[in-house]
Amino acid sequence: MSLQRMESTGWGRTVRSVSTEYAPQSIDELQEYVRDGKNPRGFIAHGLRRSYGDSSLNIGGITIDAAFLSRLEFHPNAPVVTVGAGVSIRTLEKASLERKLFPPVVPGTGLVSIGGAIAADIHGKSHHITGAFSSCVKRIQLLYSDGEIRDLYPEGPTADHFWATVGGLGLTGMILEADLQLIQMNTPSVLVEETRVNDLDEMLTLLSASDETFQHTVAWIDLSGDFRGRGVVGKGNYVSQELSAKQEEPTKSKNAPTLTFPKIGPFSLINKFSVRAFNEMWFRKPLTRGVSSIDSFMHPLDQIQNWNRIYGDRGFIQYQFVVPEGNEDFLAHVLVTMKDLGAASFLGVLKKFGKGSPAPLSFPKPGWTLALDIPAHLHNLESTLNSLDSQLCDRDGRIYLVKDARLKPEFLPTMYPRLEEWRGIRNNMDPRGMWQSDQSRRLKLC
């Protein structure tokens, strides 16, 4: 049995957590291990650790690596795939494209596991049309803390367990595999149109209008200089057969990442000047208009490995929230707040969400979602974000838990009003409270 004590951190590298890492060799072995589980700190499953905070960490307890769950089997007569929880979105995309299929919801990076995608109910640029990831999940196979394995479906008698597991941050059990409904895809390309906008109003108007005609929409927002919300709105549609025949071959995306950031120790390369220079260049870059490979359109950051290291040893926070429409002034307020803090950032992403999913802890709901990367060492950042959280509560907004390592527990019931309902189902599924994480303890989730 492979057990190893090690220190782990989330993608933001703010929290360091020493736990016992368990890499199971087989499902039988895992089942027995979980059934016998004696460690009072319990266990939590993890995938590729692309969650930013402490969702996949379990200090003093056990963390279970899902990597060995690598099954990938396409159903012969339907666009459905049975996929192991450890398989990455990138691997699934590649295998699907070979069969002219594609997952309808993919996140900004391909390096997210299927288990992580379900446990966070992730969203993509297509949210306004497809909804969150759970919209394509037809079955979840879940390992419970009593060692039993059960199949869960979105409807019928297992629906409450299914929906508690979706967005459930690994706290209901360990996802072993899932059946996913894929979409037909004639070519591995997207017809892309990028537009430069000069301020927040223009960005919001264009994003809203684009949702009518584009399957994918997202905006990069410049968080530097005067923070007035200028940026680039990216829109795309899958390319149909006829169109692609007329277009040139799409530029082939490189599968292997091309750049790796070195370990740079305690120093951060992020400062007002470097960010401003980069953002200026990014804002002025030649706009893409035409056919692009689906990979580079969906996962632009995957060309650079370990970019999270540029923030140095203190790491960074990704602050991602959603507020209902009508709260556009709050978006502007956040920009001004970031400016006052001196929180220049490369990564600001804005999108308009469509309908929410039935899962009690799923993050997306109709409204605007903004994600900002902020260096953690900034003076007054903690109290500033706490104050933004409090305003979010007043505006019916919420923050994305899988990006979080700092939310105060008292805000949780307001942000996620179905928390109690979820807790009830969860306690039912895991009466011994064996599934635990640093986040579940910090937020008193269970």
Partner 1 sequence: MLNAFHSPQSVALLGATSEIGQAILKALPHDSLNTCYLVAREPQRAAKTLKEVLPDRTKLVEIDFQAEATQTHKAVVDQLFADGDLDVAIIAVGVLGNNPDVDESANALDVMTVNYLACANLMLLIAEKMKLQGHGQIEIISSFAQTRPRVDNFIYGSSKAGLDFMARGLNDKLEGTGVSISILRPGFVRTRMTKGMSEAPFAVNSDAVAKVAVNLLKGDERIGYSPAVLKYVAYVFTLMPTKIFKRISNR
Ligand X SMILES: Cc1cc2nc3c(=O)[nH]c(=O)nc-3n(C[C@H](O)[C@H](O)[C@H](O)COP(=O)(O)OP(=O)(O)OC[C@H]3O[C@@H](n4cnc5c(N)ncnc54)[C@H](O)[C@@H]3O)c2cc1C
Contact residues toward partner 1 (CB under 8 A) are 5, 12, 14-15, 17-19, 40-41, 53-54, 59-61, 315, 317, 376, 381-383, 386, 405-406, 408-410, 438, 441-442, 444
| Binding window for ligand X (CB under 6 A); candidates: 30-38, 110-118, 198-206, 280-288 | 110-118
Q: What is the DSSP string of 63-91?
A: EEE-TT---EEE-TTSSEEEEETT-BHHH
Q: Which of 75, 73, 55 is nearest to 63 (CA)?
A: 55
| Binding window for ligand X (CB under 6 A); candidates: 102-110, 235-243, 338-346, 374-382 | 102-110
Q: What is the DSSP string of 287-355?
A: PPEEEEEHHHHH-GGGGEETGGGGG-TT-EEEEEEEE-TT-HHHHHHHHHHHHHHT--BS-EEEEEE-P
* Nearest residue relative to ligand X (C-beta): 116
Write down the least CB distance from residue 436 to partner 1, Å: 11
Spatial distance between the Cα atoms of 178 and 141, rounded to a whole number of angstroms: 6
Write down the least CB distance from residue 383 to ligand X, Å: 25
- In the complex with ligand X, the residue whose CB is nearer, 244 or 400, is 400
- In the complex with partner 1, the residue whose CB is nearer, 316 or 353, is 316
| Distance between first and last Cα of the chain | 29
> Does residue 175 belong to the site contacting ligand X (CB under 6 A)?
yes
Binding residues among 12-71 for ligand X as defined by CB under 6 A: 44-51, 55-56, 66
- In the complex with ligand X, the residue whose CB is nearer, 107 or 188, is 107
Write down the least CB distance from residue 199 to ligand X, Å: 24
- In the complex with ligand X, the residue whose CB is nearer, 244 or 348, is 348
Sign of CA dihedral 350, 340, 398, 383: positive
Exposed, middle or buried, 252 (CB in 10 Å: 0-12/13-18/19+)?
Answer: exposed
Write down the least CB distance from residue 61 to partner 1, Å: 7
Write down the least CB distance from residue 60 to ligand X, Å: 16
Binding partner of residue 188 among ligand X, partner 1, none, CB cut-off 5 to 8 Å per kind: none
Binding partner of residue 234 among partner 1, ligand X, none, CB cut-off 5 to 8 Å per kind: none
> Does residue 11 belong to the site contacting ligand X (CB under 6 A)?
yes
Write down the least CB distance from residue 218 to ligand X, Å: 8
Binding residues among 70-89 for ligand X as defined by CB under 6 A: 85
Write down the least CB distance from residue 180 to ligand X, Å: 14
Q: Which of 318, 354, 440, 334 is nearest to 395 (CA)?
A: 334
Among 92, 335, 370, 402, binds ligand X (CB under 6 A): 402
The two structure tokens encoding residue 235: 């829109």
Q: Find out whether 43 and 433 touch, Cβ atoms under 8 Å.
A: no
Torsion of CA 329, 331, 336, 342, to 10 degrees: 170
Polymer length of the chain = 446
- In the complex with partner 1, the residue whose CB is nearer, 19 or 187, is 19
- Using only C-alpha atoms, what is the Rg of the chain? 21
> Does residue 317 belong to the site contacting ligand X (CB under 6 A)?
no
Write down the least CB distance from residue 318 to partner 1, Å: 10
Write down the least CB distance from residue 12 to ligand X, Å: 9
- In the complex with partner 1, the residue whose CB is nearer, 225 or 433, is 433
Write down the least CB distance from residue 360 to partner 1, Å: 23
- In the complex with partner 1, the residue whose CB is nearer, 11 or 133, is 11
Binding mask 359-398 for ligand X (x = CB under 6 A): ----------------------------------------
Q: List C-alpha distances in Å: 91 to 72, 103, 256.
A: 9, 11, 12
The two structure tokens encoding residue 266: 């305690």
Q: Which of 305, 316, 387, 368 is nearest to 346 (CA)?
A: 316
Binding residues among 257-286 for ligand X as defined by CB under 6 A: none
Sign of CA dihedral 317, 323, 329, 330: negative
Binding partner of residue 239 among partner 1, ligand X, none, CB cut-off 5 to 8 Å per kind: none
The two structure tokens encoding residue 191: 């017809």
Three-class DSSP category at 152: strand
Binding partner of residue 410 among ligand X, partner 1, none, CB cut-off 5 to 8 Å per kind: partner 1
- In the complex with partner 1, the residue whose CB is nearer, 152 or 317, is 317
Q: Which of 93, 75, 171, 178 is nearest to 136 (CA)?
A: 178
Size of the site for ligand X (CB under 6 A): 31
Spatial distance between the Cα atoms of 261 and 283, rounded to a whole number of angstroms: 23
The site for ligand X (CB under 6 A) is made up of 11, 44-51, 55-56, 66, 85, 107-109, 112-113, 115-116, 119-120, 122-124, 169-170, 174-175, 301, 402
